[in-house]
Amino acid sequence: MKAYRISHGGKIDGLRLEDIVERPLEPYEVRVKVRAVSLNYRDLMVANGAYPVKIDIPVIPCSDGAGDVIAVGSMVSRVQPGDRVAASFFPDWFEGRPAQAKVRSALGGDVDGMLAEEVTLHEETLVKIPDQLSYVEASTLPCAGVTAWNAIFESSDVWPGDTVLLLGTGGVSILGLQMAKAAGLRAIITSSSDEKLVQARALGADETINYRTTPEWQDEVLRLTGGEGVDVVLEVGGQGTITRSVASTAVGGSIAVIGGVSGFGGEVNPFSLALSARRMVGIYVGSRAMLEQTVKLVAGAGIKPVVDRVFPFAEAKEAYRYLESGAHFGKVVIELTQ
């Protein structure tokens, strides 16, 4: 079977398609024929050497994939051949709060990931996906979907009718928008592109702000919320946005600190939190239980994860480059058809 491998910092051109000889399954292992793999900003960070990994050998990249179980080890009981499955981002975080041992490795970072024709995973890593989700759609959920779920529904205190702020129109933000609307939240979203904001409106966004033409967008967020601010912000921007995100948040609201598409860093005066009882909470994807909840919401509410472009397996480098361009709205997926 064929799989891509990449060295941390090997750049997109360093993605190599290799023939890999598969080993026999251990008793609790499962072989999955991969049907679709979605890309995350993190996969670019691995390629560019900007992601904190503890190994220096090449790995199969990408955390997010979905496919079919084709073989199981002698002791496997969670799944059987023919099941449609997605893999959880952290193979050791099943439920509850995170802990060092639970987040010590992640697919496509410290251990082999999903960008392969077939993968071998422990049965505990897998979550079944319902028929109403295509493989392409299901492949968007393990990192981007779970991160948005965790930020909105697990790590913040929001109720139907509350307001969520999404930054930009990448994978986490658009899945966050779709889930927020399904849960009865009011959604404000920003983008550098008016065209993308029109697309966001079509998905249910209540208010839109172009952060290029409105650089002081936090003032507009406050205006749109009657001076109150939002109940939770999915802070994916980092250095260029964190201070404005805090200023956009209501007294008692949450800033879910997720990423740094404008650079990792930034300054926040702690007393701007203390004197407003705002909470900053770090989000690190999430557990298998959160993936199960995310799948349940997406399938149950009939959410169709927005997939901007699908590339064939042979064009994985082009898919990476397209994600890097920032032209996408929602997710970029690589599909395996053989």
Q: Is 141 in the site for ligand NAP (CB under 6 A)?
A: no
Q: Is 322 in the site for ligand NAP (CB under 6 A)?
A: no
List the x/- string, 12-51, binding to ligand NAP by CB under 6 A.
----------------------------xxx---------
Q: Is 259 in the site for ligand NAP (CB under 6 A)?
A: yes
Of the pair 72, 323, the CB lying nearest ligand NAP is at 323
Q: Where are the beta strands (DSSP E) in 14-60?
A: 16-19, 29-38
Contacts of 300 (CB under 8 A, 6+ apart): none
Integer Cα distance of 133 and 67 in angstroms: 11
* Tally of CA atoms within 13 A in the half-sphere of 171 that contains its CB: 28
Of the pair 60, 143, the CB lying nearest ligand NAP is at 143
Single residue of 67, 142, 168, 266 touching ligand NAP by CB under 6 A: 168
Q: What is the amino acid identity at position 189? A: I
Q: Is 106 in the site for ligand NAP (CB under 6 A)?
A: no
Single residue of 154, 155, 228, 284 touching ligand NAP by CB under 6 A: 284
Q: Is 105 in the site for ligand NAP (CB under 6 A)?
A: no
What minimum distance in Å lies between the beta carbon of 162 and ligand NAP? 21
What are the strands of the beta sheet with 249-257, ordered from one edge? 207-210, 186-191, 163-166, 230-235, 249-257, 279-282
Across-strand partners of 118?
33
Single residue of 88, 134, 163, 169 touching ligand NAP by CB under 6 A: 169
Q: Spell out the alpha helix ranges (H) of the chain.
A: 41-48, 135-138, 146-149, 171-182, 194-202, 217-224, 242-248, 270-274, 288-300, 316-325
Of the pair 118, 208, the CB lying nearest ligand NAP is at 208
What minimum distance in Å lies between the beta carbon of 111 and ligand NAP? 17
Of the pair 79, 152, the CB lying nearest ligand NAP is at 152
Q: What are the tokens at 8?
A: 């941390």
Single residue of 65, 91, 142, 237 touching ligand NAP by CB under 6 A: 237
Integer Cα distance of 108 and 105 in angstroms: 9
Q: Is 196 in the site for ligand NAP (CB under 6 A)?
A: yes
Single residue of 116, 209, 236, 247 touching ligand NAP by CB under 6 A: 236
Between strands 29-38 and 163-166, the pairing is: unpaired
Task: Check: CB of residue 166 under 8 Å from CB of residue 259.
Answer: no
Integer Cα distance of 200 and 173 in angstroms: 10
CA-derived radius of gyration, the chain: 20
Under the rule (CB under 6 A), what is the footprint of ligand NAP?
40-42, 143-144, 147, 167-172, 190-193, 196, 211, 236-237, 240-241, 258-262, 283-285, 323, 326
